[in-house]
Chain A
């Protein structure tokens, strides 16, 4: 059984009288420990797929099993619980709470989990920040951190609940190429040394190159699913037949 099993997943937005198909019958499996890049042109449905995988969104139809559990029929609160237990999220614009210290940001997901004292939460948060190389920036607020550092705080926050999957929607989109490389290196390290499954949305080939597997989307459909970077790039740049 794969960690992630999507079967004929559709996501339709009803806008006025004509529906918008953000995802059309997507089926795919992702195993534990994989490093997957979701690529595709703008509007191809990458974010929609990511939100679905991240249990933030629910498919209009089809089935999504995460670790054997059906997500498509879950309630909001059940999905919130799954997000807290199993998933770690990193966003393009970091999404840290402002006017809040790094360590408090990292503690945040632990607040929504029972049975941890504030001391234990602080201990975990400090450990995670050390892991991402910010052991000396514990009490800095996000406004006092560079973009790369903010994204590291966000990664530390995503790791705080020891999730099995780490997800990022264009996590390097707001970073310069050097910090982008450092952040991707961190993802690789987590994937290789701790076996965390990593799924990233990116439009940057140099980021995609780091993945072991590339899934190319176009118009809401998977048009390529390959471990060959060249094949993926060819598919990505192929203009749709007119």
Chain B
């Protein structure tokens, strides 16, 4: 019997008992739909984390000051990291694209009789946009001259615009922080929330020199951090090493002594998150795999019942010349067809479900932009899996059918 004929016989047999075939298929549908949904949601989660790190700038390296051990005494108030360090990092490290000092500040924003608290109120350098891979929506970023002169200017994020100015044009308006007036010179492009849900657009940036002088009242050149971006994500390690080396020399760290700075690169964090989401995907897959197993056992169960119920048919087919192989193939193909139909429906359902889930997540978490991942690869694998389930769970019943004794099978009522 040719494969095509076997296939047609199987289809005909299944059509004779649509209800049963439908119920059998259902088990596989649920299993495969679960697998597809779980895997694509897992993939979405990983993709989301990766996107977030991309947005943060996966090529951003942060240099923190570190309190240094000197003669066994921890001295925490020494000036360690300076704007000059930032400048030299940008000038001397060839794997570094740009660098900016970061000085933190605190205070309420007041415009007219409206006030608002920004998430981030930072003094930064002129290259900030380059480092963070950010752009302006309106106006301009402050310049090197503004920094030199300690100009009282600022650039604000989208949330700050809506909270303080509603629909009015913020450019050239003046907001006050701790009674210091800052003129708004630009508005940053909207960036949305980060992966922990912080609004990245609730931000005010000023020249670091101004922040230090006006808001901190400090005359030291120290900064809270230096943000550095590498030329490309692939040169992160190189950039990290160069920064480490440069600061080691500039700060005259004696060999064996602990460093007064710490260079942290974000790929490490990204990798950690990758592992977490990987484990998540694995766990979801395991759950889905179990439901697939249940579907498979369902197929085996129904096929066994079907084989017993169709004993007479098997006897007839054998009497008129079907070989054991023909009978085996017939039932095996039936099981495979069942599970492939289940697989196809399951993949469709699962994909729809995961797209739906993603849309829902994005609807209730605006700005989060959980990515929609439709994986053709996952669909193909799920289908192959379904076929495999058919072969695995269909083989035993089919073999049982093929080994029947024709005389006894014919006598079966």
Contact = CB atoms under 8 A, between A and B. Distances in A.
Nearest to A115: B2
A89 B324 contact: no
A83 B319 contact: yes
Contacts of A145: none
A95 interface: yes
Interface in A42-94: 51, 54, 56-57, 76-77, 80-81, 83-85, 89, 91
B1 A111 contact: yes
A112 B16 contact: no
Interface in B314-335: 315-326
A95 B407 CA distance: 12
B183 interface: no
Contact of A112 (B312, B315, B321): B321
Contacts of A97: 313, 316
B324 A81 contact: no
Given A95-B312, A97-B313, A97-B316, A113 B406 contact: no
Contact of A80 (B16, B313, B318): B318
A203 B41 CA distance: 72
Main secondary structure of the interface of B (DSSP, over half): helix
A56 B312 CA distance: 14
Interface residues of A, number: 27
B407 A57 contact: yes
Interface residues of B, number: 22
B1 A112 contact: yes
B319 A113 contact: no
A83 B320 contact: yes
Given A56-B406, A111-B1, A95 B319 contact: yes
Contacts of B2: 114
Given A111-B5, A111-B9, A95 B322 contact: no
- Which of A81, A99, A111, A113 has the largest count of B CB atoms less than 10 A from its CB? A111
Contacts of B270: none
B1 A81 contact: no
A108 interface: yes
A29 B233 CA distance: 91
Interface string A85-127: 1000101000111010000000011011110001000000000
B137 to A, nearest CB: 69
A161 interface: yes
A112 B407 contact: no
Nearest to B2: A114
A104 to B, nearest CB: 8
A112 B326 contact: yes
B321 A84 contact: yes
B374 interface: no
Contacts of A161: 321
A213 interface: no
A80 B321 contact: yes
Contact of B320 (A57, A76, A108, A118): A108
B294 interface: no
B322 A99 contact: no
A157 interface: yes
B323 A112 contact: yes
B320 A112 contact: yes
Contacts of A51: 407
Contacts of A114: 2
Interface in B1-24: 1-2, 5, 9, 16
A13 B315 CA distance: 20
Interface string A216-231: 0000000000000000
Contacts of A84: 320-322
B353 interface: no
Nearest to B318: A80
A76 B2 CA distance: 20
Given A83-B321, A85-B321, 6 more contacts: A56-B410, A76-B324, A81-B323, A84-B322, A112-B323, A157-B320
10 tightest CB-CB pairs across the interface, nearest first? Answer: A84-B321, A109-B320, A77-B323, A112-B321, A80-B323, A83-B321, A95-B316, A112-B322, A56-B406, A56-B407
